[in-house]
Amino acid sequence: MALTACTPASSRLLTPTSSPVRTAEAARAVTGRTVSFDLRAAPTALDLAGKSAQTWSYGSIPAQALRASVGDTIRVKLDNGLPEETTIHWHGLALRNDMDGVPGVTQPAIAAGDAFTYEYTAPHAGTYWFHPHVGTQIDRGLYGALIIDDPNEPLRYDEEWVVILDDWLDGVTATPDQVLEELSAGMQPMSGMEGMGPMAMGNMLMGAESDLLGGDAGDVFYPEYLINGRPAADPETYSSSPGRRVRIRMINAGGDTAFRVALGGHRMTVVHTDGFPVTPFEADAVLIGMGERYDVLVTLADGAFPLVAAAEGKEARGFAIVRTGSGSAPAPDADIPELSGLVATADRLTAASDVALPNRQPDRQLAIELTGSMEQYDWGFGGRRFDFDRPLDQPWQIRSGERVRIEFTNSTDMWHPVHLHGHTFQHAGGGPRKDTSVVLPQQTLTVDFDADNPGRWLVHCHNIYHGEAGMMGVVAYQA
């Protein structure tokens, strides 16, 4: 790639407002209906079972769920009442590039006091979510569900419950910016701590271990774990009736925590991940990394049941209650045998036949090596940390129409949830369609996608602190 020495790579990239982007948008099927929402990002207080935490939100935590149907035009006016610039990223949607919400890549950041209106066609049905793409703002209360309905929904169920999981520290122990600063100083691994369990040191967490995550489960100490904005001491109660079939749409909005989720007394059938259907998979629990979504179907029994989101490896949990009948409420620390039963992970799933990518040899292969360590806190791709001031300096360049294969090779000692914007790739070997996938330490994950949505697209670790430390890059189409 010696060419990049004399021609700035970015000059050959499509701009987010270029005609291929507009052409791709014009090709999307539309209903002619527009659904409009107003969001205001601003400082607020979150009530944590009587304790008040100063934070930022879109009016409530989570934000109001935004809902539209495939082909609708979604229009969201965002007022920025924060003391700093912001954007909104529509996580998982294969939307037009200039609405993707990445500052310096797809739009200028929205200054404090300014407003911006996002407007785009909803391309695919499924469970998505939205959050800022500036700094560590996502680890405050700025998040909400974005549900795109399929007018011809093939699944049969009676009702829906959106469950948003979050690890919480803002306004309790520190701000996310303070945590990033502390982590960035690096951390020496401590010997002799094996088997002692997780231990907080300042805002860091030592010794959080998970077999499912291949070792180190996470490095940030969170004093609270929330389900739909509520701590275990003040849980949400979802009320229904015995025999009802519920679609639970689970979203991990956390910064540094994978959750193992189970509903006591029930098995669940995994039907979607990251918005796209999978061959139905029966499980006792589901593991959800940051940014991932899993939809499950559950037929409710009679009584009161704990929905538990165990913070994987961290010996803490989020908690909510499902009530369909009489009986005392379960305790937040109740023993949940399902948590140690069969856990659905993405590698066990296969794409539903109607969303599997057609067989095709890749036209292009990108090798993306995940690099860095806790000691240096130098997370990056290929040994290079993302330059937020010059984000388009060294993109991976692809062309429209190509089948692209990415090999994510994790050379680090930690797991990373990698997220590709603007596309839903498929795990090799008939695996699920996803946009955010866990890559275990010292393992390689191979995914394929079709380059059918031109623009500049971020690919990054959805551990917010890893991403901000530099584990980000841009996949861009050439003009």
Could you list the residues that contact Cu ion (CB under 5 A)?
A: 416, 461, 463, 466
Confirm if 236 and 286 have CB atoms less than 8 A apart. Answer: no
In angstroms, rounded to a whole number, what is the distance separating the alpha carbons of residues 301 and 321?
13
CB of residue 471 to Cu ion, shortest distance in Å: 5
CB of residue 445 to Cu ion, shortest distance in Å: 13
Residues whose CB falls within 8 Å of the CB of residue 153, separated by 6 or more in sequence, listed in order: 125
Confirm if 332 and 235 have CB atoms less than 8 A apart. Answer: yes
Closer to Cu ion by Cβ: residue 10 or 184: 184
> What SS3 state is found at 75?
strand
CB of residue 464 to Cu ion, shortest distance in Å: 9
Closer to Cu ion by Cβ: residue 416 or 423: 416
Residues whose CB falls within 8 Å of the CB of residue 461, separated by 6 or more in sequence, listed in order: 370, 379, 416, 417, 418, 419, 467, 471, 472
Closer to Cu ion by Cβ: residue 450 or 468: 468
In angstroms, rounded to a whole number, what is the distance separating the alpha carbons of residues 417 and 436?
6
Q: Are strands 343-344 and 285-288 parallel, antiparallel or unpaired?
A: parallel
CB of residue 431 to Cu ion, shortest distance in Å: 20
CB of residue 462 to Cu ion, shortest distance in Å: 7
Closer to Cu ion by Cβ: residue 89 or 416: 416
In angstroms, rounded to a whole number, what is the distance separating the alpha carbons of residues 326 and 320?
16
Distances (CA, A) of 385 to 4, 101, 381, 408: 18, 21, 7, 16
Confirm if 86 and 141 have CB atoms less than 8 A apart. Answer: no
Closer to Cu ion by Cβ: residue 247 or 416: 416
CB of residue 379 to Cu ion, shortest distance in Å: 6
Closer to Cu ion by Cβ: residue 260 or 416: 416
The helix or strand, by DSSP H or E, that contains position 54, with its residue range, turns out to be strand 51-57
Closer to Cu ion by Cβ: residue 127 or 463: 463
Distances (CA, A) of 377 to 257, 331, 441: 17, 38, 16
Nearest to 229 by CA among 64, 461, 428: 64
> What SS3 state is found at 74?
strand
The letter for the amino acid at 279 is T
Closer to Cu ion by Cβ: residue 25 or 219: 219
Closer to Cu ion by Cβ: residue 47 or 375: 375
CB of residue 438 to Cu ion, shortest distance in Å: 10
Helix runs in 162-240, H state only: 176-184
Confirm if 51 and 172 have CB atoms less than 8 A apart. Answer: yes
CB of residue 213 to Cu ion, shortest distance in Å: 11
CB of residue 102 to Cu ion, shortest distance in Å: 18
Q: Count CB-CB contacts under 10 A for residue 156.
A: 8
